[in-house]
Amino acid sequence: MNTYKLALIPGDGIGGDVTDAAMEILEATARRHDFALEPQRFDWSCARYLETGAMMPDDGIEVLRGFDAILLGAVGWPETVPDSVSLHGLLLPIRKAFDQYANIRPHRLLAGVEGPLKAEGFDILCIRENTEGEYSGAGGRVHRGHDNEVAVETAIFTRAGVERILRFAFEQARNRRGHVTSVTKSNAQKHSMVFWDEMTARVAADYPDVTVEPMHIDAMAAKMVMAPASLDVVVASNLFGDILTDLGAAIQGGLGFAASANIRPDRSAPSMFEPVHGSAPDIAGRGIANPIATVWSGAMMLDHLGEAEAAAQVMAAIEAATSRGIGTLPGRNSTDQITQAILAALEEQA
């Protein structure tokens, strides 16, 4: 029997609620298939930062390296720790240290979920570059607090980094409907984004079976609202992908449904799975967070681990619950009710 060592980082706010729910469902699924999950919980969070001065220990990355996968809940507690500190102290270092360069975020309406648009039938796979670009962390500030203060944030685009994320997107498109939309702002950003467009054309030449459309981020935002069904694979830089996938979450009914996977494609280091949403301090501790985004992320994790059948069963159970109206509207059901409905649907499959 395969046993997968899983690093569980609930993080802050609703992160604990949604990862607990996901683990209950994933472990129930594992029991029905011939594998086991061996989770180890880490308290790395803003609470830890307040106690120790660090979101994770100095050897945190080395500790995580020994796991098969990481399941993360949410990061951030802005009331006490600046978001820039918490994000750069946990989530971003993990993505970069393990070179999880492909952030995969699916956007589609689950059965029974009515999004805010009239549009139906869209199925978008956003591929966000995850290790460089605008989130490189390169830059600095001088003359702090003075009238002549300067802040510089440098976006870094390397040939290797851009080429590999584009190839990843084209490979995904090959297994889907064969279309890539490559998002830039190359009219305004004449160095990095023109370079991205050139790399898109170069990579596209190796994929004659895939159609490609370069698009500016502003036009893309409109298209995701006006004609989402026309989109298949969307590839974008770190910042653009981050923003577009919140829009993607909105059109699929809300952040409670938006799943993501931070993938190291060659599998030489662990990949990390997390909902797109943050810690939601406004609803933390109320037991009403929607766990579906985390359960869906967990299904992506099972798929990545090679348990495709189990992953498909988790997705079918989520949709059996949502098709009955469970978890489809904010606040309609508690976290526990949604979890129990998904568990019941798994039982029914048996």
Output the smallest distance, CB 7 to ligand GGG, in A: 14
Rank residues 75 and 215 by Cβ distance to ligand GGG and give the closer one.
75
Q: Is 303 a catalytic residue?
A: no
Q: Pick the binder of ligand GGG from 89, 254, 278, 298 (CB under 6 A).
A: 278
Q: Which entry of 17, 135, 207, 303 is annotated as an active-site residue?
A: 135
Interface of this chain with ligand GGG, residues 39 to 58, rule: CB under 6 A? none
Q: Pick the binder of ligand GGG from 274, 304, 318, 333 (CB under 6 A).
A: 274
Examine residue 275 and tell whether it contacts ligand GGG (CB under 6 A). yes
Q: Which entry of 17, 185, 232, 303 is annotated as an active-site residue?
A: 185
Examine residue 69 and tell whether it contacts ligand GGG (CB under 6 A). no
Output the smallest distance, CB 350 to ligand GGG, in A: 31
Examine residue 272 and tell whether it contacts ligand GGG (CB under 6 A). no
Choices 74-82, 223-231, 305-313, 318-326; region in contact with ligand GGG by CB under 6 A: 74-82
Q: Pick the binder of ligand GGG from 60, 76, 115, 327 (CB under 6 A).
A: 76
Cα→Cα distances 177→2, 107, 172, Å: 33, 15, 9
Nearest CA to 301 among 258, 256, 263, 349? 263
Q: Is 185 a catalytic residue?
A: yes
Q: Which entry of 17, 68, 99, 242 is annotated as an active-site residue?
A: 242
Q: Pick the binder of ligand GGG from 129, 132, 242, 303 (CB under 6 A).
A: 242
Rank residues 87 and 311 by Cβ distance to ligand GGG and give the closer one.
87
Output the smallest distance, CB 76 to ligand GGG, in A: 6
Conformation bin of residue 268: beta by default, left when phi > 0, alpha when psi is -120 to 50: alpha
Choices 25-33, 68-76, 110-118, 249-257; region in contact with ligand GGG by CB under 6 A: 68-76
Q: How many residues bind ligand GGG (CB under 6 A)?
A: 12
Examine residue 74 and tell whether it contacts ligand GGG (CB under 6 A). yes
Q: Is 207 a catalytic residue?
A: no
Examine residue 236 and tell whether it contacts ligand GGG (CB under 6 A). no
Rank residues 39 and 78 by Cβ distance to ligand GGG and give the closer one.
78
Q: Is 83 a catalytic residue?
A: no
Examine residue 87 and tell whether it contacts ligand GGG (CB under 6 A). yes
Residues pairing with 184 in the sheet: 216
For 70, phi then psi, to 5°, come to -125, 130
Examine residue 129 and tell whether it contacts ligand GGG (CB under 6 A). no
Q: Is 147 a catalytic residue?
A: no
Q: Which entry of 34, 43, 206, 218 is annotated as an active-site residue?
A: 218
Examine residue 133 and tell whether it contacts ligand GGG (CB under 6 A). no
Three-state helix/strand/coil letters over the chain? CEEEEEEEEEECCCHHHHHHHHHHHHHHHHHHCCEEEEEEECCCCHHHHHHHCCCCCCCHHHHHHCCCEEEEEECCCCCCCCHHHHHHHHHHHHHHHCCCCEEEEEEECCCCCCCCCCCCCCEEEEEEECCCEEEEEEEEEECCCCCCCEEEEEEECCHHHHHHHHHHHHHHHHCCCCEEEEEECCCCCCCHHHHHHHHHHHHHCCCCCCEEEEEEHHHHHHHHHHCHHHCCEEEECHHHHHHHHHHHHHHCCCHHHCEEEEECCCCCCCEEEEECCCCCCCCCCCCCCCCHHHHHHHHHHHHHCCCHHHHHHHHHHHHHHHHCCCCCCCCCCCHHHHHHHHHHHHHHHC
Which residues would be at the binding site for ligand GGG (CB under 6 A)? 72, 74-76, 87, 91, 242, 274-275, 277-279
Active site residues: 135, 185, 218, 242, 246
